[in-house]
A and B are shown apart, each in its own frame.
Chain A
Amino acid sequence: MTNTKPLLKIRDLQIDGISDETRSRIINKVSLDLYPGEVLGLIGESGAGKSTLGLAGMGFTRDGCEIVGGSIEFDGIDLVNSPLEKRRRLLGSRIAYVAQSAAASFNPSHKIMYQHTEAPVFHRKFSRIDAETDAINLYRRLRLPQPEMIGFRYPHQLSGGQLQRAMTAMAMSCRPDLIIFDEPTTALDVTTQIEVLSAIRDIVEQFSTAAIYITHDLAVVAQMADRIKVLLRGDEVEENTTRSMLKSPRESYTKSLWAVRSFERKQKPPAKTGATPVISLKNVTAAYAKNDPVVRDVSFDIHAGRTVAVVGESGSGKSTTARCITGLLPPLTGSISFDGTALPPDYRQRSNEQLRQMQMIYQMADTALNPRKKIGEIIGRPVEFYLGLTGREKRQRVEELLAQIELEPTEFIDRYPAEISGGQKQRIGIARALAAEPKFIICDEVTSALDQLVAEGILRLLTDLQDKMQLSFMLITHDLSTVRAIADEVVVMKDGIVVESGPKNDMFTPPHHAYTDLLLSSVPNMDPDWLDNLLASRGADNIGDAAIEKMNKN
């Protein structure tokens, strides 16, 4: 392999982002070699410049970005200085792109097949008829249902996982030498993700296409890539083959990334039998529209000082359950009690004391904080509202709270939410919940919008606070590694029903309910052979949508 010429050669690439007055470096002197048939994984946290670098590999920069130095060469063709038309001829035909959100990247006005055959016909690679026959073969290979028919549907008629596979097929339509995968599975549920991963790997191997695989998920890149390059804020951290990178990372940043996954708190002993739970749901059924319940017959208890994780994929009803508890969506039937006394179903009928005891931390810290209020006001309001503190006392309490969430009080108290980072915003959200001095906090996907390192910090903070104040958490999440990290008990939900519930350790040891089993086995592992082993043990028909379909039949 080392004898052949590299297919893509990037040298000392520098890309600037320009907004209004400021110019910031997005990519700082990064070099890269990609040989034919090789898959390179690009990983890094948000803002690392991985997408920008990936697109630069196509000679393309988004609006507001500019190449200011370095060279990009694809198969000997200069992608920086060649005329526009010459570069354009390469796109789609020799270099293809698979975007993060297939649902948004397919044109809603055209059928899938039309979009598939567009590039080969436009670049005069194949005739429309040949391209269509080839598309059907690709669809079959990618295990899409009804491969002969599916191309003649509109994008909105397909599911997210199907669209992502159709997009991979579309990238293959001209048999390119290089495909850029830009976080192709990030927007998907775990059970769907695995299907797409195996499809992508299968097709890349089959046609020995070179690929750049961009992701923030280490376990995913471990399955896909031959080599891994780690980026941090536009700088290259290190690069190595996948196996040696996983086994022995050299740089401390990489080591810390690797270590994130090892955080796991020991499960607390179950609450005494007969103890009054802080929150208790009994046979709760709730609906947004009449006769169409989103949540059916849900019951579980949350005890003092414990964390109960409610796990499920999108549409499983976990957030709706939370809305029932907070009183935003009064349940149709069933009851919710707090410390043994039943709560009024509608939050407007609850007393301030009842409202105070139950707080919420939101997923999107951006929309959870009022952008027009200073941090001090945001945290100070519940202090004033519930505890009646004002003036000096209030400020003192706010400073204490800021110290508790490990932010320097004097530095943050007069800032606006727009002036702080995502992880800090999430901490402010926690402080606002703590300010009410509650017993019970609902954490709605609190880490899913954050980078792994930051997320880990938030999880550690939550567990520390829980130990100090005997808080009870309801942790809503789709991420099993978060569950493993801090939960004591787990409730698994699917289609509005509790499928299984119990202590965490039981949940992670077999035997499982079929759905829990599928969920658990679908979470990628850092082991590069994981996907192979899984496919060997379960078979390609027993993963993803296909498996769920089978389960529903039984």
Chain B
Amino acid sequence: MGILSIIIKRLGLGVLTLFLVSIIIFLAVNMLPGDFAQALLGQAATPEAVAAIRADLGLDRPIANRYFDWLVGAARGDFGTSFAQANFSAYVGENSSSNYGSVATQLAPRFANTVFLASVTAVIAIPISLAIGILAALYRYSIFDRVANVSTLTSISSPEFFVAYILILVLAVLNPLLPSLSNIFDGMSFAERLEKTLLPALTLTLVVTAHMMRMTRAAIINLLASPYIEMARLKGLSPFRVIVVHALPNALAPIINVVALNLAYLITGVVVVEVVFVYPGIGQLFVDSVKIRDIPVVQACCMVFASAYILLNLLADIMAILSNPRLRIPK
């Protein structure tokens, strides 16, 4: 009963955060000089054209109304109309909104691609980093630990594009094993898709693995210093059993946290890596939209990234609560 109310509270907090974040994103965009219409048509546009677009996009209505329209739309998956598409139709002189390309149709396939990239990365990175992290904690201060420490520090410190170009150099240019451009389109087979995704996924893996491995190591070492681990050793248990039976169950909460944090980190990493490999994901779309100031798309991408980030953190919190017997079974 106690734990249920904790989880419900946490869920409520997550929803509230999401709501507030949507306000921040919406308001941020309204800080633009002039407004959408001005930004859309540029300084040279005639006042009539600006007014027409403004009416067409509903910009003449109060900000609160527009926010709620946007929020309700966003909740249904409708993020409005992309400027890039609207731009074209405005110059042609068509005003029927049904002809505007919607943000959602642009976003959906790219979102699926990004999720695919993130999943491939997670599948490679999580087992490797947990294994190396536990090993490094077990053999801490050994040569293996030092080498792992130095190389992970190096890989964390490097910008994603450095790692990406090194991988391109080694795996695509010098040894043409993998394609350096990830041109993915509909109707590709899974194997083809995987091949095109592998290089960006490897890049992300290198960066994320380093983070995850270091955090896992720190969490386990922290645990290994606790008296109950000494007690387990003094019971004459094998080192393997000490780790698996005594350290791991307690390390679960920190490890879940590590994994969730790094999946959340992937979201940021994905932007740069998608640009390097021209991977048709949401990150690439986001950067392109930022450059041409396609506000509705920028807003939508932001919302998607922020939601994923908040949801992952929420998930981590709830799993951590569930794995703790102190919270699961009250006194």
Q: Would A and B touch once assembled, by the CB under 8 A criterion?
A: yes
Binding site for B on A (CB under 8 A): 58, 60, 62, 88-93, 96-97, 99, 101, 104-110, 118-119, 122-123, 154, 156-157
Q: B249 and A122: CB pair below 8 A?
A: no
Taking the nearest CB of chain B, how far is it from the CB of A161, in angstroms?
16
Q: Which residues from chain A contact B246 at a C-beta distance below 8 Å?
A: 107, 109-110
Check A109/B250 contact, CB under 8 A, given A99-B230, A104-B227. yes
Taking the nearest CB of chain B, how far is it from the CB of A450, in angstroms?
23
Of residues 207 through 247 on chain B, the ones whose CB sits less than 8 Å from some CB of chain A are 226-228, 230-238, 241, 245-246
Q: Which residues from chain B contact A62 at a C-beta distance below 8 Å?
A: 230
Q: Which residues from chain A contact B329 at a C-beta distance below 8 Å?
A: 154, 157
Binding site for A on B (CB under 8 A): 226-228, 230-238, 241, 245-246, 249-250, 325-326, 329, 331
A497 CA / B331 CA spacing, docked (Å) = 25
Check A92/B227 contact, CB under 8 A, given A108-B250, A110-B249. no
Q: Which residues from chain B contact A91 at a C-beta distance below 8 Å?
A: 233-236
Q: Which residues from chain B contact A58 at a C-beta distance below 8 Å?
A: 234
Main SS of the interface on chain B? helix
Report the 4 A-B pairs with minimum CB-CB distance, sorted nearest first. Answer: A91-B236, A92-B235, A109-B249, A92-B236
Q: A109 and B325: CB pair below 8 A?
A: yes
State which of A89, A105, A108 has its C-beta within 8 Å of the C-beta of B326: A108
Q: A107 and B228: CB pair below 8 A?
A: yes
Check A89/B236 contact, CB under 8 A, given A109-B249, A156-B326, A157-B329. yes
Q: B236 and A119: CB pair below 8 A?
A: yes
State which of B228, B233, B245, B331 has its C-beta within 8 Å of the C-beta of A108: B228
Q: Which residues from chain A contact B241 at a C-beta distance below 8 Å?
A: 122
Interface centre among A92, A109, A119 (most CB of B within 10 A): A109
Knowing that A109-B250, A154-B325 touch, tell me 15 more A-B residue pairs with CB under 8 angstroms.
A58-B234, A62-B230, A91-B233, A91-B235, A97-B234, A104-B228, A107-B231, A107-B232, A108-B250, A108-B325, A119-B235, A119-B237, A122-B235, A122-B236, A156-B331
State which of B227, B236, B238, B331 has its C-beta within 8 Å of the C-beta of A99: B227
Q: B237 and A99: CB pair below 8 A?
A: no
Q: Which residues from chain B contact A118 at a C-beta distance below 8 Å?
A: 235, 237, 245
- List 29 A-B pairs, Cβ < 8 Å: A58-B234, A60-B234, A88-B236, A88-B237, A88-B238, A92-B235, A92-B236, A96-B234, A97-B231, A99-B230, A99-B231, A104-B226, A104-B227, A105-B227, A105-B230, A106-B228, A107-B228, A107-B246, A108-B228, A108-B325, A109-B246, A109-B325, A118-B235, A119-B235, A119-B236, A122-B236, A123-B236, A156-B325, A156-B331
Q: A105 and B236: CB pair below 8 A?
A: no
A122 CA / B232 CA spacing, docked (Å) = 11
A118 CA / B228 CA spacing, docked (Å) = 13
Q: Which residues from chain A contact B238 at a C-beta distance below 8 Å?
A: 88
Taking the nearest CB of chain B, how far is it from the CB of A314, in angstroms?
17
Check A157/B331 contact, CB under 8 A, given A104-B228, A107-B228, A108-B228. yes
A62 CA / B224 CA spacing, docked (Å) = 12
